[in-house]
Amino acid sequence: MRIGIEAQRIFRKNKHGMDYVVLQEIKELQQTKTCHEFFVFVAPGEDHCLHSTEHVHVVEIGGHFYPLWEQVSLPATVRKYQLDLLHCTSNTAPLFCPVPLVLTLHDIIFLEPRDKQNKSLYQNMGWLYRRLVVPRLLHRCRRIITVSDFERQNIISKLHIPEQQVAMIYNGYNTWFRPTEASDETYRKYIERPGYFFFLGNTDPKKNTERTLLAYAHYLKRSTVKRTLLMADLDRRYLDEIIERHHIEDIRSHLVMPGYIVNSDLPSIYNSAFAFLYTSLRESFGIPLLEAMACGTPVITSNTSSMPEIGGKDAILVNPEQPEEITDMMLRLEQDDAFRRQQSAYGIERAKLFSWRQTATQLLELYEQVNAELAK
């Protein structure tokens, strides 16, 4: 087969979740013995993190903004390369695709009731584009891939799609996320001392930044240790609005906000953290949850959406809408060393159930299933 893979954003410098997923899938396919030929379609960017190999060819498609790139340039290039199949990996795809289509639909958050507090123009434009495009795409897809059983059932029930059309393939995590030597002080690029709480968030209300900050304010009042909170990838003005609205100005001196943290530095960040706060309201999978567990960092996560599925039955699961539950678990980890050690060991073992090799193997099987169906 000649298989196209859309990976439009992987050359951008500041990558996020979906970019890393397709990047790791392709790198794993490059290491897999297969008779198939792959064509990876990317937009130009600063970070040339992927290069062509014998059976995986990287093809740059220039320079339009995303909707034009996807709806015009991508289909034209697919036609030129005479593909058998196109896999679009980031929730959307061309409305008029010249070959059979597989779509990875990571989630359908954009079709669910929305918190109007999101002031990010980029996120709002993406939300609108997905709402316009995805419902018109679904009947054209030979297969829809999603990343957890939670999300698969959500898609089937809310979009009324036949079960056999929706496949579930778990994400993995990179093997450099593991317990590291105490001498690794990469974290010092971002924060002075180890033993902090770590939170990854943004302005999207689903990340639950506001309630997590309230939980941290309660923690500072009750803790004798008063650990710093490292908050990555967060807009300071957004943070200031939350602090002023809730009159929790006292937390400012305990916050460290270094901006974007490059992926290669995250193992040191996780390993040097006392605990990781992954207290989202809604996730379709949650790769940071796996990364922290693989490093042996205790994780406080939510009892909603996919997080119990990925974290497992013995994970620390809290109601993310109740800040006091988050606070209680922060304090328990601080005061109960045996509990913290147990969570560290549990996370390392739980993470072993997931891998990018497993993801790539299942992807190949799915491509071959679709091809066999088309040949009938």
CA–CA distances in Å: residue 105 to residues 148, 256, 319? 11, 34, 26
Is residue 326 within 8 Å of 318, Cβ to Cβ? yes
Domain ranges in the chain are 2-171+355-375, 186-351
- CB neighbours of 276 closer than 8 A, spacing ≥ 6? 197, 198, 199, 270, 288, 292, 297, 298, 299, 300
Given this chain, do its domains 2-171+355-375 and 186-351 carry the same CATH topology? yes
CA–CA distances in Å: residue 83 to residues 18, 283, 365? 23, 33, 18
Helices marked H in the chain — which ranges?
Answer: 17-30, 66-68, 74-80, 121-137, 149-159, 209-222, 236-246, 266-272, 287-294, 307-311, 323-335, 337-351, 356-375
Nearest to 229 by CA among 260, 188, 181, 274: 274
- CB neighbours of 240 closer than 8 A, spacing ≥ 6? none
Torsion of Cα atoms, 201 then 204 then 207 then 213, to 10° = 70
Q: What is the DSSP letter of 310?
A: H
Residue 205 confidence (pLDDT): 86
Residue 117 confidence (pLDDT): 60
Report the Cα 76 to chain-centroid distance in Å.
Answer: 29
Residue 172 confidence (pLDDT): 97
Residue 286 backbone phi and psi in degrees, to 5: 105, 65
Whole-angstrom distance, CA of residue 320 vs CA of residue 324: 9
Whole-angstrom distance, CA of residue 342 vs CA of residue 298: 9
What's the topology of domain 2-171+355-375? Answer: Rossmann fold (3.40.50)
Residue 112 confidence (pLDDT): 80
CATH number of 186-351: 3.40.50.2000
Q: pLDDT, tens digit, for every residue of 314-344?
A: 999 999 999 999 999 999 999 999 999 999 9
Collapsed DSSP state (helix, strand, coil) of residue 147? coil
Q: pLDDT, tens digit, for every residue of 144-177?
A: 999 999 999 999 999 999 999 999 999 999 999 9
Sign of the torsion formed by the C-alpha atoms of 13, 17, 22 and 23: positive
Q: pLDDT, tens digit, for every residue of 182-220?
A: 778 999 999 999 999 999 988 788 899 999 999 999 999
Mean pLDDT of successive 10-residue stretches along the chain, which has 376 residues: 96 89 96 95 95 96 88 96 96 96 94 65 80 93 98 95 97 94 87 96 87 98 98 89 96 94 93 97 95 98 98 98 98 98 98 97 97 91
Whole-angstrom distance, CA of residue 214 vs CA of residue 15: 28
What type of residue is 2? R
Residue 119 confidence (pLDDT): 58
Residue 39 confidence (pLDDT): 98
Exposure b/e, 170-201, CB count within 10 A at least 16 = b: bbbbbeebbebeeeeebbeebbeebebbbbbb
Q: Which two tokens stand for residue 3?
A: 């298989």
Report the Cα 271 to chain-centroid distance in Å.
Answer: 19
Residue 118 confidence (pLDDT): 59
